[in-house]
Structure 1
Amino acid sequence: MVQAYETDTGSAGPEDPGQPVAGSGSRFRRLRTIGPFRPWRGDGDGGKGPWRRGIVLAGCAVVVALLTALHAQIPNRIGNLGSLSETFLPWLAVLTVPPLLVAALWRRSGTALVALSLPVVVWLNLFGGLIADKSSGGGDLTVASHNVNAGNPDPEGTAREVAGAGADVLALQELAHGQVSAYRKALSGTYEYHSVQGTVGLWSKYPLKQVAPVDIRMGWTRAMRATVATPQGDVAVYVAHMPSVRVKMNAGFTANERDKSADALGEAIAMEETAHVVLLGDLNGTMNDRALQAITSQMRSTQGAAGDGFGFSWPASFPMARIDQILVKGAEPVDSWTLPRTDSDHLPIAASIKLR
């Protein structure tokens, strides 16, 4: 009788759809008790409201905003920390804001959500202009640059792929001594004129003159200069491969050799008398890196002025930084882009410029 009585009164298990435990209304109420779905008014957390929760998250958002906006103030005295942060500066907010946003919603913190607007605004102010396509027509000269990698397993194939971009002037860096002939052979049908100086080379559809190596204080040749006689007039073209940088646990961002070479190259460009100047090369640094100021302070980035997006060029497998550059002086960039991947660990880059 007791068992029958319990059954008649509707004592049901969780599978009974008529009971609150498994009903849709119950599921909704349970959902409202989880993380960001809980009411945002003061409940739990000692009765703290949304403006008193998540203070630590808000502080983290402010720090990200300050590091992004004031990156130039991060000192280089300790392990070149400033240059390291500037190399990957666009990624600082990209990698930190999304998890902070999730945490702010989970904590139901209005304060943290408001604070997160700060790094977003700073990021858009610094990099928002790179997102839009700024290319236009009317270029007089198309140039391309590629660090081909000294260990490239297919130099001829790489040369043909880059030549297929149709550039009037092509610069190559990290030319291994034993592979120079392969590049010459592959490019001879496209470019009538060329010169190789040390580990850098320049190929051109127009005559080259006044070709010479440029001393960037390395002890061997990794930079050169040539005058390209284009139909619109002479253009001084520099090709450079700055020393490599490394991140070491005991030394930080080892970039001192690169910095010295950048200063030397900047001095050479500052003394240039030709009205139109183009720099093509692997600078092992981005336009945000203060250590390249001797160069970047007097030249314009084609990607920043006429590109579509960030134009990251390294590493080729998952580009995270634009350390390969095409910079101009006395010329107007009208287009800038990256080329398809080759057998190198860098992506080739190209730009179209108008000589003014």
Structure 2
Amino acid sequence: MPDPRARSARVRWPSARAKHAAPSDRPGTASRRGRVLTALAVLAGCLLVGHRWLPDVGGLASLVATFLPWLGLAVPVLLVGAAVRRSVTAAAAATALAVTWVVVCVPLPLGVQPGPGGGQLVVVQHNVGDTNADPAGTAAVLLAPEPDVVTLVEVTPPLAAAFTEAFGDELPHQAVQGTVGVWSRHPLGGAAPVDLRPAGVDPSWDRGLRVTVDAPAHGGVRLYAVHLPSVRLGPAGLGTAARDESIARLGAELAADDSPVVLVAGDLNTALDDRALAPVVAEVAGRRQTFGFTFPASAPVVRIDHVLARGASVERVATLGRTASDHLPVAAEVALPRG
């Protein structure tokens, strides 16, 4: 019969030190909980703060900047994860990420503040879609905020005629260049094309128009209606070269314009936080919008339609209701300086 003393001698009982070890010294306890969650919060925070320094390989920097506000969705996910893991460190990291997101993404006034008494201009911008089958219904949506000026892109000749009829006496003045147009409550003058065509693109590509709006209590307001090239995802990544070239051309046009008040309204095919837009936002600025996305209209995830200003202030920007387009319209209240 085996000797019980021999068996007990082979059993390794926990030492008193191991029995009384602090929970933080044990694998998987507080000192190690939430490390992955904390790392994810730090990564998201670095993207929020440092996206402008990302290498733009395959359009990566442009893509991150365009969808930057959506990084805020990481905050509730990380907070829930921190609660499940009972990790104070992960919770603190998620809270820091929330603060960073607010600082970076909450709407901020970025324009030049106007002097008092200059009046206000309501500008509506819309990519109407060149296959728009309901210009009358679209016009009704665009007229709802009682705009002073409406700028449209992807306007074919038949659509231009249809919108002119639909706007009627509300917006009796109009100018059209290529596939962009301006309809205004106030007289327009000095209409001229703006060459934004990238190298190698067919000469029929005509997406820039410059006009002067005779705004009451101010006088001439220079307005650019533009439609920059789209970006496409391909084997080499996000194709941004043509758009970026048009951005550079538009930036040069704005830099050469010495008008005291300049507005830009159009489909820029990128967000204001995209560093590719730097040549333009160096000359005109707007109001960053955390939400109020414009594309695609069925489930908007990004704002690529903008109203920007120099010498005036974009006070408020809002999207309007759906139309027969794949974009949502944008309405902006622009405070003008005294003329």
Match of 1:162 in 2: 142
Alpha-carbon contact 2:317-2:333 (below 8 Å) kept: yes
Q: Counterparts of 1:321 and 1:272 in 2: how far apart (Å)?
A: 29
Match of 1:293 in 2: 278
Alpha-carbon contact 2:214-2:221 (below 8 Å) kept: yes
Match of 2:225 in 1: 239
Q: Name the amino acid aligned to 1:242.
A: L
Alpha-carbon contact 2:152-2:181 (below 8 Å) kept: yes
Match of 2:300 in 1: 319
Q: Residues 1-356 of structure 1: matches in 2 within 5 Å?
A: 42=23, 46-76=26-56, 78-94=57-73, 96-129=74-107, 139-218=119-198, 219=203, 220-231=205-216, 232-248=218-234, 250-301=235-286, 303-304=287-288, 310-356=291-337
Alpha-carbon contact 1:300-1:328 (below 8 Å) kept: yes
1:266-300: CA deviation from partner (whole Å, max 9, x where unpaired)? 11011112211111101001110011111112212
Using the aligned pairs only, state the percent identity. 42
Q: Counterparts of 1:158 and 1:128 in 2: how far apart (Å)?
A: 30
Aligned length: 304
Secondary structure of residue in 1 paired with 2:325:
coil
Alpha-carbon contact 2:148-2:184 (below 8 Å) kept: yes
Shift of the alpha carbon at 1:253?
Answer: 1.3
1:116-170: CA deviation from partner (whole Å, max 9, x where unpaired)? 2232121111123459xxxxx9742111111101111211221232123211111
Q: CA RMSD in A?
A: 2.2
TM-score by length of 1: 0.80
Alpha-carbon contact 1:130-1:310 (below 8 Å) kept: no
1:171-206: CA deviation from partner (whole Å, max 9, x where unpaired)? 001112332221121122321210110000001111
Secondary structure of residue in 2 paired with 1:143:
strand
Q: Name the amino acid aligned to 1:258.
A: R
Alpha-carbon contact 2:75-2:95 (below 8 Å) kept: no
Match of 2:14 in 1: none
Give the direction of change, closer, same or farther, for the CA distance of 1:129–1:153 in structure 2 (3 Å limit): closer
Tell which has more relative contact order, 1 or 2 (C-alpha 8 A, sep 6+): 2
Give the direction of change, closer, same or farther, for the CA distance of 1:294–1:103 in structure 2 (3 Å limit): same
Shift of the alpha carbon at 1:354?
Answer: 2.1
1:21-50: CA deviation from partner (whole Å, max 9, x where unpaired)? xxxxxxxxxxxxxxxxxxxx938x945432
Shift of the alpha carbon at 1:75?
Answer: 0.8
Give the direction of change, closer, same or farther, for the CA distance of 1:160–1:48 in structure 2 (3 Å limit): closer
Match of 2:8 in 1: none
Shift of the alpha carbon at 1:215?
Answer: 0.2
Secondary structure of residue in 1 paired with 2:195:
coil
Q: Name the amino acid aligned to 2:230.
A: S
Alpha-carbon contact 2:141-2:320 (below 8 Å) kept: no
Secondary structure of residue in 1 paired with 2:328:
coil
TM-score by length of 2: 0.84
Q: Counterparts of 1:179 and 1:333 in 2: how far apart (Å)?
A: 29
Give the gaps of 5 or more residues in structure 2.
Answer: 1-21, 110-115
Q: Counterparts of 1:343 and 1:130 in 2: how far apart (Å)?
A: 31
Q: Counterparts of 2:330 and 2:78 in 1: how far apart (Å)?
A: 35
Q: Name the amino acid aligned to 1:90.
A: P
Secondary structure of residue in 1 paired with 2:141:
helix
1:284-329: CA deviation from partner (whole Å, max 9, x where unpaired)? 011100111111122121x33xx7x533211212222111000001
Q: Counterparts of 1:332 and 1:81 in 2: how far apart (Å)?
A: 31
Match of 1:7 in 2: none
